Amino acid sequence: MQRKKLMAANWKMYKTPDETRGFFTIFLPLVRDHDRDEIVVCPPYVDLATALESVRGSNIAVGAQNVHWGKEGAFTGEISPTMLLAVGCTHVIIGHSERRQYFGETDDTVNLKLKAVLETSLTPIVCVGEVLEEREAGLTEDVLRRQCTRAFYKISAKKATKLVIAYEPVWAIGTGKTATPQIASEAHRLIRSEAAKTFGQEFADRLRILYGGSVKPENAKALMSEDELDGALVGGASLDPKSFAAIVKY
Ligand code: PEP
């Protein structure tokens, strides 16, 4: 099945509003006529307004890197799905491995966040992936199955239409080690089969599964040529406008 690829940038904790403006000044002209794939940039919260202003009228969407599951409340430092929508975001990353590793996110909070986001028109990008010890111990399939089952808990196919998954093997994030196209495809097939179990085959055939982990201009073509890979979630290499444009146009 032909699925339109989604090329997403995760800027992590990088760039000020001025640097955000500077990025788009260079990036926009490079991808102006590019309509083969969808493009989304996820900057830090404080840059959202500048990013949204910079991309106005273009083919580029803006997303957040995290979200809380509540609508509002006494949750210091948190941002709700409704708030993201109100400023103009269309996408949000959920359960990135750095959130799981350093900020106590679990499969259960990922599920709460996903459920809350699916009540809105935001597109959730849910990250899953094994750490190196799990891969070396032959546990990759178990980990991916568990992360998917728990993320999808009590969510219907009808609600989940906008769901996007990002397979990000943690050993490949920011390390310069990329999964081979074959390793990535294998994991994507497993994730797709988990989605089929929960949501049905038709849903799974339409589901976009992105690959993330040291995607660079040099390896983007080989990865994106795999039928199973429906786009990329790019960290480090998305900070430079020329490099992210080269990945988008692989
Ligand atoms: C990421 O942060 O989602 C990521 C994949 O990072 P990098 O591309 O730097 O490995």
Ligand 1 centre to CA of 234 (Å) is: 5
Domain boundaries defined on the chain: 6-248
- Given a contact cutoff of 8 angstroms between Cβ atoms, the answer to whether 97 and 170 are in contact is yes
Residues 6 or more apart whose Cβ sits within 8 Å of residue 109: 69, 95
Q: Is the CB of 169 under 6 A from ligand 1?
A: no
Mean pLDDT of the chain: 97
Q: For residue 31, what pLDDT is reported?
A: 97
Task: Given the residues 130, 134, 168, 228, select the one marked as catalytic.
Answer: 168
Report phi then psi at 111, rounded to 5: -65, -45
Can you tell me which atom of ligand 1 is nearest the CA of 12? 2
Ligand 1 centre to CA of 238 (Å) is: 9
The pTM of the full predicted model, rounded to 2 decimals, is 0.98
Residue whose token pair is 């949501």? 199
Can you tell me which atom of ligand 1 is nearest the CA of 214? 10
Contacts by 58-62, CB closer than 8 A, 24 or more apart: 58/28, 58/32, 59/31, 59/32, 59/34, 59/35, 60/27, 60/28, 60/31, 61/90, 61/91, 62/88, 62/89, 62/90, 62/91
Cα–Cα distance, 54 to 28 (Å, whole number): 9
User: Where would I find the beta strands (DSSP E) of 104-167?
Assistant: 123-128, 164-167
Secondary structure class of 198 (helix, strand, coil)? helix
User: Is 168 tagged catalytic?
Assistant: yes
Interval 184-234: pLDDT, tens? 999 999 999 999 999 999 999 999 999 999 999 999 999 999 999 999 999
Task: Given the residues 96, 105, 188, 194, select the one marked as catalytic.
Answer: 96
Interval 107-133: pLDDT, tens? 999 999 999 999 999 999 999 999 999
Ligand 1 pocket test: pick from 6, 7, 10, 42 the residue with the most ligand atoms within 8 Å of its Cβ.
10
Residue type, 126: V
Ligand 1 pocket test: pick from 98, 99, 215, 239 the residue with the most ligand atoms within 8 Å of its Cβ.
215
Q: For residue 204, what pLDDT is reported?
A: 98
Q: For residue 2, what pLDDT is reported?
A: 83
Task: Give nearest CA residue, ligand 1 atom 4.
Answer: 235
Q: Is the CB of 101 under 6 A from ligand 1?
A: no
196: tokens are 């089929």
User: Is 96 tagged catalytic?
Assistant: yes
Helix or strand run (H / E) with residue 92: strand 91-94
Task: Give nearest CA residue, ligand 1 atom 8.
Answer: 235
Cα–Cα distance, 30 to 60 (Å, whole number): 12
Q: For residue 217, what pLDDT is reported?
A: 97
- Compute CA 128 distance to the chain's CA centroid, rounded to the nearest angstrom: 10
- Given a contact cutoff of 8 angstroms between Cβ atoms, the answer to whether 157 and 203 are in contact is yes
Of the pLDDT bands very low, low, confident and very high (cuts 50, 70, 90), residue 92 is very high
pLDDT at residue 1 is higher than 80: no
Report phi then psi at 43, rounded to 5: -90, 175
Does the structural domain 6-248 have CATH classification 3.40.50.10490? no
